[in-house]
A and B are shown apart, each in its own frame.
Chain A
């Protein structure tokens, strides 16, 4: 009999452990081809929607798996747009990327600049997808130098939501046409308990809730811009500053508030109106105990409204087979039928022109959804400063918080913001120059 002492046992354990590691590695290598050869192609999808939107997103994925047998899609929720972008960045470094991911308006560009996103033109051609059926402005936002990098899926625009009962009382049953119309009735809409506003006429979100996205159209309405297409920053110039002063005055004059969650304030009757994404439409309608009205954004000097939201991108580091499978999901999820389903269940814009035809009955029953679709042709893509400069959204958003929450003077704040944006634009300009 061999005697075992602690040392030999430790050595033995180490050896066994090492052996097991080697063995497990080997078995993986041997097992892999079998999986690839038979059965559906497995792909992983990273999504970003929570609550009722998340339920719809999950349902969309389940429907895809039920509709065909070639591809098996695994849905993985990753958090907000920002968190998804963070995880995708980490995933690229770790080479553990999903096959297809939701990328938001403000984050896709960073991945494009670093060649993370697969060009889609060949896949589009191979699958005979009629790209002219996509709403042009939405589709073209994903195109650089003639090549498509993401397909619009959950695209939204800002929309003006108002409490119909309150607005009818003040003589604006269809909502305000201009901001002046709104300002004129704020005295009647606001209720106070001493100095505390118990109901505001309007509510601004904070930077985490994309105030910079909702402020974008107000800047345009005042004939300003965040920047031009060549990254020349204009946020500290006349139009944008005027818009900023309008926001500041709204708080200083006591008719607008800056709650943590404007949408819940709205459905609970603590504010009479707000701007929010069309993607919030289904949720707001479901939760409001009162009748909700929707309208085009109010005008100032002009009308202005931007697009937003997210689309689907395929990762460049995947095999052709994986990419083809991923594209199958992308084209299926944005096909007219699914577009209509997704739109009706969330409030996101139908990204296919032909989808709108099939939604006539739905619009008749839900006129509020129609408002957003009617407004869509008048919308435009956002300024480069917010969507192409990394973190541009949060940089502008923090400036707006300083104006609305801290009530600081607009010009110096926007000068700060402009300086930061200019600094942050430098690496983007370098990367663009490198791409040629």
Chain B
């Protein structure tokens, strides 16, 4: 069956091409062509429209109303929700938290990812296994990872407290202490996401032409000098890509935080997306959640625009 179908298909294609150019080619495409065109773009267009653009327009609208997500009326309040955010101490702390979270998460993934990639780019025993092991957390669900790490961090029964005890250090109350909670969440985030950075760096490392290293060797460069003068410059476009994508995804971290700390203690781990969730689905302030979403959107847009500008300049690099 299948064989015959594909045969017929191939035949028909060649028949089509063999047909003498008829009337349709010279005129404007007939309606059926347009329908076909619509049919082709429809799946993407409808999906994006329904799940991306329409919600975005709705969010922009919601940011101007006061609505508890259940009553039939939405009252238009103009910029009140933005004014609320401007004056809200919590929101200010959330922005600061998001900033530190991004710095910690991106910096950590970058440095660790590069270090691991350099390590795994050498000829080692069990290299493939190690590569798989490093990448694996990326594939796991953030919620499951969060639950496991809650146990690891437990100051009394946790495995981490056990290790610290060996070093005769008292474990801090990682998730209960406002000073430690954000670092703890960042650690988990890095652990989950460093694999992705590693893989991208590995690909980048393997794309650096060997002859550059050979030339450097001939010039008498040492290992460190080769790393500084060959590896890093050649990797810089990749590094830039990793930084930008990491920043974007770190701003959207939700699962780990929801499972591990629920933004607490006292908002110490409350970052932008979690704040939006709290305003929207815990406090049922659709308007404030919408306004905070618009703030997030503007931040993301700014980062993306910077990336576009920068990568345009760097496009011929290397």
Q: A406 vs B177: C-alpha distance in the bound complex, in angstroms? A: 9
Q: A10 vs B36: C-alpha distance in the bound complex, in angstroms? A: 9
Question: Residue of B at shortest CB range from A423?
Answer: B84
The answer on a CB contact under 8 Å between A258 and B70 is: no
A5 contacts chain B at the CB level, 8 A cutoff: yes
Check A391/B39 contact, CB under 8 A, given A3-B12, A5-B16. no
Binds B, one of A336-344, A363-371, A394-402: A394-402
A1-43 contacts to B (CB < 8 Å): 3-7, 9-11, 14
The answer on a CB contact under 8 Å between A5 and B69 is: no
The answer on a CB contact under 8 Å between A14 and B283 is: no
Chain A residues within an 8 Å CB radius of B170: 193-194, 196
A317, chain B: closest CB distance, angstroms: 12
Chain A residues within an 8 Å CB radius of B8: 3-4
A161-216 contacts to B (CB < 8 Å): 193-194, 196, 206-208
Q: A260 vs B153: C-alpha distance in the bound complex, in angstroms? A: 11
The answer on a CB contact under 8 Å between B267 and A114 is: no
B272 contacts chain A at the CB level, 8 A cutoff: no
Binds A, one of B139-147, B219-227, B258-266: B258-266
Check A258/B176 contact, CB under 8 A, given A4-B8, A14-B39, A208-B264. yes
Interface residues on B, range: 20 to 34
Chain B residues within an 8 Å CB radius of A398: 266-267
Chain A residues within an 8 Å CB radius of B36: 7, 10-11
A101-134 contacts to B (CB < 8 Å): 110-111, 113-114, 116
B189-248 contacts to A (CB < 8 Å): none
A418, chain B: closest CB distance, angstroms: 15
Q: A357 vs B8: C-alpha distance in the bound complex, in angstroms? A: 83
Chain B residues within an 8 Å CB radius of A6: 9, 12-13
Q: A3 vs B19: C-alpha distance in the bound complex, in angstroms? A: 14
A405 contacts chain B at the CB level, 8 A cutoff: yes
A251, chain B: closest CB distance, angstroms: 12
Q: Which of A89, A194, A207, A391 is the one whose CB lies under 8 Å from B70?
A: A89
The answer on a CB contact under 8 Å between A10 and B176 is: no
The answer on a CB contact under 8 Å between A390 and B283 is: yes
A136-168 contacts to B (CB < 8 Å): none
A213-243 near B? 1/0 per residue, CB < 8 Å: 0000000000000000000000000000000
B128-152 contacts to A (CB < 8 Å): none
Q: A394 vs B12: C-alpha distance in the bound complex, in angstroms? A: 68
Chain B residues within an 8 Å CB radius of A258: 176, 265
The answer on a CB contact under 8 Å between B39 and A10 is: yes
A7, chain B: closest CB distance, angstroms: 6
Question: Residue of A at shortest CB range from B16?
Answer: A5
A82-113 near B? 1/0 per residue, CB < 8 Å: 10001001101100000000000000001101
The answer on a CB contact under 8 Å between B66 and A427 is: yes
Q: A382 vs B5: C-alpha distance in the bound complex, in angstroms? A: 73
Q: A11 vs B32: C-alpha distance in the bound complex, in angstroms? A: 10
B178 contacts chain A at the CB level, 8 A cutoff: yes
Check A4/B262 contact, CB under 8 A, given A270-B156, A394-B282, A394-B283. no
Q: A277 vs B176: C-alpha distance in the bound complex, in angstroms? A: 22
Chain B residues within an 8 Å CB radius of A54: none
Q: A82 vs B154: C-alpha distance in the bound complex, in angstroms? A: 25
Chain A residues within an 8 Å CB radius of B173: 259-260
The answer on a CB contact under 8 Å between A431 and B266 is: no
The answer on a CB contact under 8 Å between B282 and A82 is: yes
Chain B residues within an 8 Å CB radius of A11: 36, 39
The answer on a CB contact under 8 Å between B283 and A391 is: yes
Chain B residues within an 8 Å CB radius of A10: 36, 39
Q: A7 vs B16: C-alpha distance in the bound complex, in angstroms? A: 11
Chain A residues within an 8 Å CB radius of B68: 110, 114, 390, 427
The answer on a CB contact under 8 Å between B70 and A92 is: yes
Q: For B69, B156, B264, B266, which residue has the most chain A Cβ atoms within 10 angstroms?
A: B266
Chain A residues within an 8 Å CB radius of B282: 82, 86, 391, 394
The answer on a CB contact under 8 Å between A4 and B12 is: yes
Check A401/B266 contact, CB under 8 A, given A5-B13, A7-B36, A114-B71. yes
Q: Which of B15, B66, B69, B266 is the one whose CB lies under 8 Å from A3?
A: B15
Chain A residues within an 8 Å CB radius of B11: 3
Chain B residues within an 8 Å CB radius of A194: 170
Interface CB pairs A-B, < 8 A, 23:
A3-B12, A4-B8, A5-B9, A5-B12, A11-B39, A82-B282, A86-B281, A89-B70, A90-B69, A110-B284, A111-B70, A193-B170, A206-B264, A260-B173, A268-B156, A390-B68, A390-B284, A391-B282, A391-B283, A394-B282, A398-B267, A401-B266, A431-B71
Q: Which residues of B contact A (CB under 8 A)?
A: 5, 8-9, 11-13, 15-16, 36, 39, 66, 68-72, 154, 156, 170, 173, 175-178, 262, 264-267, 281-284
Q: Give 14 A-B pairs besides A6-B13, A194-B170, A206-B264 with Cβ atoms closer than 8 angstroms.
A: A89-B281, A110-B70, A111-B70, A114-B70, A114-B71, A268-B156, A270-B156, A390-B283, A394-B282, A394-B283, A398-B267, A401-B266, A405-B176, A427-B68
